[in-house]
């Protein structure tokens, strides 16, 4: 059974940094894409913005233009954990952050959150000005 658990959220001042962790359970047997997404308060329904993704066991992450250069995704295979390092945070980065997983098609997609079928419960990040 696949289970993802996020941690590391909290409050941070603008310009600061935060590292989120996504603990993976049951991600075995084949390569998965693990992605990071966020849902800002004003986003309707289950719409989520894709931020970054990495293939388990791979070394080529992908990023959305909105976070490229500020956010870094990485993984620790020994700990079955994927990280999202967030730097130069802005108030508009305030959101619920989720990690999600799906079988890897080779290149991890970021064009739609709907590709990812396994989701964590999220961790809130609040950036104050």
User: How much is the average pLDDT of 26-55?
Assistant: 91
* Rg (alpha carbons) of the chain, rounded to whole number: 14
Query: Tens digit of pLDDT for each residue in 45-101?
Result: 888 999 999 999 887 899 999 999 999 999 998 889 999 999 999 999 999 999 999
> Do the beta carbons of residue 86 and residue 18 sit within 8 Å?
yes
Alpha carbon distance 48, 103 (integer Å): 19
């Amino acid at each position: 059974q696949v289970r993802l658990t996020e941690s590391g959220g909290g409050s941070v001042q603008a310009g600061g940094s935060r590292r989120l962790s996504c603990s993976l359970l049951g991600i075995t047997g084949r390569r998965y894409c693990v992605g990071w997404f966020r849902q800002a308060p004003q986003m309707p329904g289950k719409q989520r913005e894709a931020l970054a993704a990495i293939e388990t066991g791979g070394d080529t992450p992908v990023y959305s233009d909105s976070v490229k250069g500020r956010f870094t995704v990485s993984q620790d295979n020994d700990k079955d954990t994927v990280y999202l390092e967030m730097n130069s945070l802005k108030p508009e980065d305030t959101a619920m952050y989720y990690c999600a997983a799906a079988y890897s098609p080779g290149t991890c997609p970021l064009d739609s959150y709907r590709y990812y079928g396994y989701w964590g419960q999220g961790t809130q990040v609040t950036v104050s000005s």
